Amino acid sequence: MEAITTILGDVLRAEGFSVWIGAILTLMVYSYLLGDNPLSRLAKHLLVGTAVAYGAVIAYHQVLYPSLLRPLQKDPSANWYLVIALVLGLLLLTKSTPSFSFLGNVSIGFMLGVGAGLAMGGAMVGTLLPQVQATTLSLYPTDYGPGLTGTVGAFSALVIVVGTVATLLSFQFTRRHETAAAARTVNRFLDGARKLGRFFLLLAFGALLGNGILTALTLLIGRLQFLFGTWLSITGGR
Protein backbone atom coordinates (compact mmCIF):
# COMPACT_ATOMS: atom_id res chain seq x y z
CA MET A 1 0.00 0.00 0.00
CA GLU A 2 2.83 2.38 0.82
CA ALA A 3 4.51 1.64 -2.50
CA ILE A 4 1.27 2.38 -4.39
CA THR A 5 0.86 5.63 -2.48
CA THR A 6 4.45 6.61 -3.33
CA ILE A 7 3.94 5.86 -7.01
CA LEU A 8 0.69 7.84 -7.14
CA GLY A 9 2.38 10.72 -5.37
CA ASP A 10 5.22 10.73 -7.90
CA VAL A 11 2.72 10.68 -10.79
CA LEU A 12 0.67 13.50 -9.34
CA ARG A 13 3.80 15.54 -8.73
CA ALA A 14 4.94 15.09 -12.32
CA GLU A 15 4.88 18.47 -14.03
CA GLY A 16 3.34 17.36 -17.29
CA PHE A 17 0.58 15.32 -15.67
CA SER A 18 -0.50 18.04 -13.25
CA VAL A 19 -0.41 20.69 -15.98
CA TRP A 20 -2.58 18.58 -18.29
CA ILE A 21 -5.11 17.92 -15.52
CA GLY A 22 -5.26 21.62 -14.67
CA ALA A 23 -5.67 22.60 -18.32
CA ILE A 24 -8.41 20.05 -18.96
CA LEU A 25 -10.36 21.12 -15.86
CA THR A 26 -9.95 24.79 -16.81
CA LEU A 27 -11.31 24.16 -20.31
CA MET A 28 -14.16 22.13 -18.84
CA VAL A 29 -15.13 25.06 -16.62
CA TYR A 30 -14.88 27.58 -19.49
CA SER A 31 -17.05 25.34 -21.66
CA TYR A 32 -19.95 26.79 -19.70
CA LEU A 33 -19.58 29.89 -21.89
CA LEU A 34 -21.02 27.79 -24.73
CA GLY A 35 -23.98 26.78 -22.58
CA ASP A 36 -24.69 24.36 -19.78
CA ASN A 37 -23.14 20.99 -20.68
CA PRO A 38 -22.00 17.74 -19.00
CA LEU A 39 -18.32 18.80 -18.99
CA SER A 40 -18.94 21.99 -16.99
CA ARG A 41 -21.23 20.13 -14.60
CA LEU A 42 -18.59 17.44 -14.11
CA ALA A 43 -15.98 20.08 -13.30
CA LYS A 44 -18.32 21.68 -10.74
CA HIS A 45 -19.05 18.30 -9.16
CA LEU A 46 -15.33 17.56 -8.93
CA LEU A 47 -14.73 20.93 -7.28
CA VAL A 48 -17.50 20.45 -4.72
CA GLY A 49 -16.54 16.84 -4.01
CA THR A 50 -12.86 17.66 -3.59
CA ALA A 51 -13.63 20.61 -1.33
CA VAL A 52 -15.96 18.53 0.87
CA ALA A 53 -13.46 15.68 1.13
CA TYR A 54 -10.62 18.06 1.94
CA GLY A 55 -12.76 19.83 4.54
CA ALA A 56 -13.70 16.50 6.15
CA VAL A 57 -10.06 15.43 6.43
CA ILE A 58 -9.01 18.80 7.86
CA ALA A 59 -11.91 18.75 10.33
CA TYR A 60 -10.91 15.30 11.58
CA HIS A 61 -7.16 15.90 11.88
CA GLN A 62 -7.30 19.46 13.24
CA VAL A 63 -10.56 19.53 15.24
CA LEU A 64 -12.19 16.20 16.02
CA TYR A 65 -9.17 14.08 16.86
CA PRO A 66 -6.96 16.58 18.76
CA SER A 67 -9.82 18.36 20.57
CA LEU A 68 -12.31 15.52 21.14
CA LEU A 69 -11.17 11.97 20.50
CA ARG A 70 -7.61 12.14 21.82
CA PRO A 71 -8.55 13.79 25.16
CA LEU A 72 -11.24 11.15 25.66
CA GLN A 73 -8.73 8.39 24.95
CA LYS A 74 -6.11 9.79 27.32
CA ASP A 75 -8.27 10.64 30.35
CA PRO A 76 -12.03 10.04 29.98
CA SER A 77 -12.79 10.90 33.60
CA ALA A 78 -11.17 14.34 33.43
CA ASN A 79 -12.70 15.14 30.05
CA TRP A 80 -16.17 13.72 30.66
CA TYR A 81 -17.82 16.90 29.40
CA LEU A 82 -16.53 16.12 25.90
CA VAL A 83 -18.97 13.22 25.79
CA ILE A 84 -21.75 15.81 25.45
CA ALA A 85 -20.10 17.19 22.32
CA LEU A 86 -19.64 13.67 20.98
CA VAL A 87 -23.31 12.81 21.57
CA LEU A 88 -24.46 16.04 19.91
CA GLY A 89 -22.26 15.30 16.92
CA LEU A 90 -23.63 11.77 16.60
CA LEU A 91 -27.20 13.08 16.86
CA LEU A 92 -26.43 15.46 14.03
CA LEU A 93 -25.68 12.48 11.79
CA THR A 94 -29.28 11.31 12.17
CA LYS A 95 -30.41 14.23 9.97
CA SER A 96 -29.45 12.07 6.97
CA THR A 97 -32.14 9.52 7.93
CA PRO A 98 -35.74 10.80 7.65
CA SER A 99 -37.04 8.36 10.28
CA PHE A 100 -34.65 9.62 12.97
CA SER A 101 -33.97 13.14 11.72
CA PHE A 102 -35.92 14.66 14.63
CA LEU A 103 -33.11 13.57 16.98
CA GLY A 104 -30.75 15.94 15.20
CA ASN A 105 -32.95 18.91 16.07
CA VAL A 106 -31.28 19.05 19.48
CA SER A 107 -27.87 19.52 17.88
CA ILE A 108 -29.25 22.02 15.36
CA GLY A 109 -30.89 24.05 18.13
CA PHE A 110 -27.68 24.03 20.17
CA MET A 111 -25.64 25.15 17.15
CA LEU A 112 -28.10 27.92 16.29
CA GLY A 113 -28.15 29.20 19.86
CA VAL A 114 -24.37 29.24 20.17
CA GLY A 115 -24.03 30.73 16.68
CA ALA A 116 -26.51 33.51 17.42
CA GLY A 117 -24.74 34.36 20.67
CA LEU A 118 -21.34 34.42 18.99
CA ALA A 119 -22.68 36.49 16.10
CA MET A 120 -24.17 39.10 18.43
CA GLY A 121 -21.03 39.27 20.52
CA GLY A 122 -18.86 39.40 17.41
CA ALA A 123 -20.99 42.15 15.90
CA MET A 124 -20.64 44.23 19.05
CA VAL A 125 -16.95 43.63 19.74
CA GLY A 126 -15.71 43.14 16.20
CA THR A 127 -17.85 45.59 14.21
CA LEU A 128 -19.90 48.12 16.18
CA LEU A 129 -17.40 49.12 18.87
CA PRO A 130 -14.42 49.34 16.47
CA GLN A 131 -16.55 51.42 14.10
CA VAL A 132 -17.49 53.80 16.92
CA GLN A 133 -13.85 53.99 17.98
CA ALA A 134 -12.69 54.58 14.40
CA THR A 135 -15.25 57.36 13.98
CA THR A 136 -14.15 59.20 17.12
CA LEU A 137 -11.64 61.38 15.31
CA SER A 138 -10.21 64.81 15.86
CA LEU A 139 -11.16 67.51 13.36
CA TYR A 140 -8.28 69.85 14.21
CA PRO A 141 -5.72 70.09 11.36
CA THR A 142 -2.84 70.51 13.82
CA ASP A 143 -3.43 66.97 15.10
CA TYR A 144 -2.52 65.57 11.67
CA GLY A 145 0.55 67.61 10.86
CA PRO A 146 1.57 71.07 9.73
CA GLY A 147 0.27 72.92 6.70
CA LEU A 148 -1.50 71.11 3.90
CA THR A 149 -0.90 67.68 5.44
CA GLY A 150 -2.91 68.60 8.52
CA THR A 151 -5.70 70.10 6.43
CA VAL A 152 -5.99 66.95 4.31
CA GLY A 153 -5.98 64.76 7.42
CA ALA A 154 -8.72 66.80 9.08
CA PHE A 155 -10.80 66.73 5.89
CA SER A 156 -10.45 62.95 5.66
CA ALA A 157 -11.55 62.61 9.29
CA LEU A 158 -14.54 64.86 8.58
CA VAL A 159 -15.57 62.70 5.62
CA ILE A 160 -15.37 59.56 7.78
CA VAL A 161 -17.46 61.06 10.56
CA VAL A 162 -20.08 62.58 8.25
CA GLY A 163 -20.24 59.43 6.11
CA THR A 164 -20.73 57.16 9.11
CA VAL A 165 -23.44 59.32 10.70
CA ALA A 166 -25.25 59.86 7.39
CA THR A 167 -25.16 56.14 6.59
CA LEU A 168 -26.69 55.29 9.96
CA LEU A 169 -29.37 57.95 9.47
CA SER A 170 -30.20 56.51 6.03
CA PHE A 171 -31.80 53.57 7.85
CA GLN A 172 -34.12 55.92 9.77
CA PHE A 173 -37.49 55.50 8.06
CA THR A 174 -39.82 57.39 10.44
CA ARG A 175 -40.87 61.04 10.22
CA ARG A 176 -42.33 63.52 12.65
CA HIS A 177 -45.81 64.65 11.59
CA GLU A 178 -46.12 67.75 13.75
CA THR A 179 -46.79 70.99 11.93
CA ALA A 180 -44.39 73.04 14.00
CA ALA A 181 -41.50 74.71 12.23
CA ALA A 182 -39.01 72.78 14.36
CA ALA A 183 -40.50 69.45 13.22
CA ARG A 184 -40.32 70.50 9.58
CA THR A 185 -36.69 71.48 10.04
CA VAL A 186 -35.87 68.12 11.60
CA ASN A 187 -37.61 66.30 8.76
CA ARG A 188 -35.70 68.26 6.14
CA PHE A 189 -32.44 67.52 7.95
CA LEU A 190 -33.23 63.81 8.12
CA ASP A 191 -34.18 63.72 4.44
CA GLY A 192 -30.89 65.34 3.48
CA ALA A 193 -28.94 63.01 5.76
CA ARG A 194 -30.67 59.96 4.22
CA LYS A 195 -29.77 61.07 0.71
CA LEU A 196 -26.17 61.68 1.74
CA GLY A 197 -26.05 58.29 3.49
CA ARG A 198 -27.37 56.53 0.39
CA PHE A 199 -24.65 58.29 -1.62
CA PHE A 200 -21.99 56.88 0.71
CA LEU A 201 -23.61 53.44 0.49
CA LEU A 202 -23.47 53.59 -3.31
CA LEU A 203 -19.79 54.55 -3.11
CA ALA A 204 -19.08 51.59 -0.82
CA PHE A 205 -21.04 49.13 -2.97
CA GLY A 206 -19.35 50.46 -6.10
CA ALA A 207 -15.93 49.98 -4.52
CA LEU A 208 -16.85 46.43 -3.50
CA LEU A 209 -18.16 45.67 -6.99
CA GLY A 210 -15.03 47.10 -8.60
CA ASN A 211 -12.84 45.06 -6.26
CA GLY A 212 -14.80 41.92 -7.12
CA ILE A 213 -14.43 42.58 -10.86
CA LEU A 214 -10.69 43.19 -10.49
CA THR A 215 -10.35 39.94 -8.54
CA ALA A 216 -12.25 38.02 -11.23
CA LEU A 217 -10.11 39.58 -13.96
CA THR A 218 -6.95 38.70 -12.05
CA LEU A 219 -8.07 35.06 -11.80
CA LEU A 220 -8.99 35.04 -15.50
CA ILE A 221 -5.60 36.46 -16.50
CA GLY A 222 -3.87 33.86 -14.33
CA ARG A 223 -5.79 31.02 -16.01
CA LEU A 224 -5.10 32.40 -19.50
CA GLN A 225 -1.40 32.72 -18.71
CA PHE A 226 -1.47 29.12 -17.50
CA LEU A 227 -3.20 27.88 -20.66
CA PHE A 228 -1.23 29.90 -23.23
CA GLY A 229 2.02 29.79 -21.33
CA THR A 230 2.66 26.72 -19.20
CA TRP A 231 0.32 24.33 -21.00
CA LEU A 232 1.29 25.28 -24.57
CA SER A 233 4.98 25.14 -23.68
CA ILE A 234 4.53 21.51 -22.58
CA THR A 235 2.42 20.55 -25.60
CA GLY A 236 4.96 22.08 -27.98
CA GLY A 237 2.65 24.89 -29.07
CA ARG A 238 5.25 27.56 -28.44
Q: pLDDT tens for residues 193-234?
A: 888 999 999 999 999 999 999 999 999 999 999 888 888 887
How much is the pLDDT for 217?
Answer: 94
Residue 57 has pLDDT above 90, yes or no: yes
- Residue 36 has phi, psi (to 5 degrees) of -65, 130
Nearest-angstrom CA–CA distance, 42 and 19: 19
Is the pTM for the entire model greater than 0.95? no
Domain-by-domain residue ranges, the chain?
1-80, 82-136, 137-238
How much is the pLDDT for 216?
Answer: 92
Q: How many residues does the chain have?
A: 238
Per-residue pLDDT band for 51 (boundaries 50, 70, 90) equals very high
